[in-house]
Structure 1
Amino acid sequence: MADINHVVLVGRLVRDAQLKYTGGGLAICEFSLAINNRRKQGDQWVDEPSFFDVTLFGRQGEAIQRYLTQGKQIGVDGQLRQDRWQTPEGQNRSKVVVIANNVMLLGGAGAGAGGGSGEGGGFGSSRSDREGSGGSGAPRGGGGPGGDDGFGSDDFPDNIPF
């Protein structure tokens, strides 16, 4: 069985994203995401935040960095990577970071409405982009009236047993 390394997170940015470049010109966009988990403590619900460092490489990071401001709600689709290093004192350290494949801006019109940054039809793309339906939103494969799958018609029997 193959190993799986996939993570999807939705949270708010802790601070504005930082953009830097490698010596070879590769863009690296780094930001931190806070995600609240709610749990009951006694009679009250309390929020327990978890913080995740996220790295987004390439043109996608360059394009979206200016929209990644503190407090903005975003969705991240990616994978986990464990960075390991040794301190000058000889102590071994490690940190888990999220390597983003796609980032999606969430929230209302003020939060970049319609703004996904997924290149190639990924996490930030719309359904019609992925289906190639020309924006009609209609399912492919004969789903209309008279189609063979029966989902495009309102002719459902009234005696459904559930």
Structure 2
Amino acid sequence: MNKVALVGRLTRDVETNTTAAGKSVARFSVAINRKFKNEEGNYEADFINCVAFSNTADFVSKYFSKGNAIGIAGRIQTGSYTNKDGQKVYTTDVVVEEAEFVESKNASGNTSAPANDVNDFMPVADGDDELPFN
């Protein structure tokens, strides 16, 4: 079984590309604090490279940016390639299958969309007998 679940913060803005077949690909890195502090009393962090495809890539690139907290679930994938200098480079990525918010817009400092207003709700008259919860 190859399953991973992570919660962390994006270290940079999401890089989005489209394949020749029209499939969205999003690449980003997530910083995750380790459980214990080091000798200086600070938490060290791991920086995990992630890649998402299709709808998940579109979701991540639309709603997340550097510094936002994100929850992801997926699988670890390893690979290798030869760089332009002829050296073999090994890679490890999390292929993101699910992504979700783990904090509110206000907590993340993202205030681009207005918060819901009380007036966004449809008014209901008192004594309406057609409501299922009366």
TM-score above 0.5, yes or no: yes
Distance in 2 between residues matched to 1:87 and 1:69, nearest whole Å = 29
How far is the alpha carbon of 1:16 from its aligned partner? Answer: 1.2
Q: 1:56 aligns with which of 52, 56, 60?
A: 52
Q: 2:34 aligns with which of 25, 34, 37?
A: 37
Q: Which gives a bigger RCO, structure 1 or 2 (Cα 8 Å, sep 6+)?
A: 2
**2:96 is aligned with 1:100:** yes
Deviations 1:12-66 (A, max 9, x none): 0001112110011000011110011143445x53211110111110022113312
**2:25 is aligned with 1:28:** yes
Distance in 1 between residues matched to 2:96 and 2:7, nearest whole Å = 12
Runs of 4 or more off by more than 6 Å in structure 1?
A: none
Gaps of 5+ in 2: 111-134
Contact 2:4 2:73 in 1 (8 A): yes
- Bigger proportion of residues as strand: 2
Distance in 1 between residues matched to 2:25 and 2:98, nearest whole Å = 14
Deviations 1:61-95 (A, max 9, x none): 11331211111000010000112011233221101
Identity %: 26
**Correspondences of 1:6-17 after superposition (within 5 Å):** 6-17=3-14
Q: Which residue is equivalent to 1:77?
A: 73
TM-score w.r.t. structure 1 length? 0.61
Contact 1:38 1:46 in 2 (8 A): no
TM-score w.r.t. structure 2 length? 0.73
